[in-house]
Structure 1
Amino acid sequence: MHIDANDLDAKSAYKLLIGTIIPRPIAWISTLSAEGVGNLAPVSFFTCVGRKPPRISVSLQPRADGATLKDSFVNIRDTGEFVTNMATLPQALSVHRSAVDFAPDVDEFDTVGVEKEPSALVKPPRVKGSPLALECRVFKIFSSPDGLGNIVWGDVVNFYVRDDLYINGRIDFGAIAPIGRLAAEYTVVNNTFVPPLDDDLLAQHAQKRMIRLDAEGEEYSPIDTGSWSSSGAVIE
């Protein structure tokens, strides 16, 4: 099957993008509004773009209504600072709940029940309990013609690394259990390997479906429910 991208509306294209670009790391972004209200939201259009200076990229779409800027972007634009916290399996429910489009005057740390920890060099707090966090200052913002889609490039000014994870200048990621995104669902990274692998092992895994950790059926997808929106927000 071939699908011409020119024939797709934004929602249809988004469904195909999030189903093909997998797994995606989650930037659990903490910000402060200009008035000092805390905000917390997961963003899975996230990657690194440079190493000297260390620089990351996050892409922020509008809210579920398709017309209102997300609080995370407004805060980043207005203050120039943000923190990307690593999301891990024990925090999965809090990560998911923080994807709701709360009102701008709601402190999502308090609403979701996530504790704040002071950052070292920026004003927004990091997530207490998150093993890794990148404190960032805005380098550049790229906006779509309508101003609703925005890509933020941020320079990492400070790395927070939990003490036991820092080994000879590297991260012991095997002790973290990070979660990522698969379309509208989540996955946990719980295995690692270096090629080559045994042919029998490769054949065994190639024929298996992913193992669901919840109680849903094999072909279940939140995209087919009313709780999903093409903004990435959770609808309550």
Structure 2
Amino acid sequence: MEPFDHKTEFTLTQPPHPDWTPPHSQKLPHPFSKDRETFVKSSDLSAGEMYKMLISSVVPRPIALVSTCSKDNTGAPVNIAPFSYFNLVCHDPPTLMVSINYSRGNQKTPSETFRRQHFVESANHTSIPVPYEIEEDKLSGLTLVPSTYIKPKRVQESLVSFECRLSHCHLIQNAKGETSTGVVFGEVLGFTVKDGVWDPETKQIDMRLYKPVSRLGGNNYGRTESGYEIMRPTI
């Protein structure tokens, strides 16, 4: 295994086929034969097998490092856990979603942050299966500081932290009628961002400084080292 290269910087390149132009009948080269493929029925796979298939094919996935606290002040003051079943829902109102797998005994309600390369080892350590009353920040070396609008504290090491209010939760049941997952929607009330990472003029995050980490299959994670720009077509 190669050592981690801390000097790698985010760069923009040309798209894979910069000379391609419409019409769409002009086929782009494809590395696999369209005639050699297999259909797999979902019910033929166990839950564990389907999990492996999904997390290795739907990639890369952003990771939310979520801090929560109990509504009635019972249990630990703040819990932290990473979730890769996570994404945007819409921008008006600004809403995020995270799916919480009940089968792993984790039924926390999400509130705030993204996970980044700068502290990925500490963030990963928050996934340790400890009792609810154990505070993961004490185990991971992360720093919790007060949020602006919400009760759960935020992770100070995060370059961007979203403070969310629960919009609603949708429970999903499996074939046995058991609740397997809770899909939680949170409205973004505001965010804290490290100076220099967000451009207040363009309202965009600088990828060169942000260094996002993505979840791949198994225990593998990805770095965003390069990107390319493709303009949206117009009529």
TM tier relative to shorter chain: 0.7 to 0.9
Which of 83, 92, 102 does residue 111 from structure 2 map onto? 83
- Give 1:124-163 correspondences, 5 Å limit: 124-145=152-173, 146-163=178-195
Corresponding position: 1:170 with 2:204: yes
2:213–2:224 Cα contact (<8 Å) kept: yes
Cα deviation for residue 71 of structure 1 reads 4.6
RMSD of equivalent CA atoms: 1.6
- Distance in 1 separating the partners of 2:207 and 2:81: 23
1:215 aligned residue: none
Give the greater-gyration-radius structure (CA).
2
Aligned residues: 184
Q: CA deviation at 1:26?
A: 0.2
Give the 3-state SS of the residue equivalent to 1:192 in structure 2.
Answer: strand
The amino acid that maps onto 1:189 is: T
Gaps of 5+ in 2: 1-37
- Counting aligned pairs with the same residue, the percent is 27
1:62 equivalenced with 2:106 (yes/no): no
Q: Does 1:27 align with 2:64?
A: yes
Question: What does the per-residue CA deviation read over 1:47-66, in whole Å, with 9 as the maximum and x for residues that have no partner?
Answer: 111111100110010254xx
Does the alignment pair 1:5 with 2:42?
A: yes
Matches within 5 A, 1:91-106: 91-106=119-134
Instruction: State the SS of the aligned residue for 1:150.
Output: strand
Partner of 2:52: 15
Supply the distance in 1 between the matched residues of 2:137 and 2:83 (Cα, whole angstroms).
16
**Shift in alpha-carbon separation, 1:170–1:87, aligned structure 2, 3 A:** same
Greater shift after overlay, 169-178 or 50-59? 169-178
Is the contact between residue 167 and residue 187 of structure 2 (CA under 8 Å) also seen in structure 1?
yes
Mapped partners of 2:133, 2:230: distance in 1: 50
Q: Which residue number in structure 2 is paired with residue 187 of structure 1?
A: 222
Contact 2:101 2:107 in 1 (8 A): no
Contact 2:100 2:107 in 1 (8 A): no
Deviates more, 1:181-190 or 1:12-21: 181-190
Post-superposition Cα deviations, 1:52-101, rounded to whole Å, max 9, x if no partner, equal 1100110010254xxx3x152xxx2xxxxx43312111211112111111
Scaled by the length of structure 1, the TM-score of the pair is 0.73
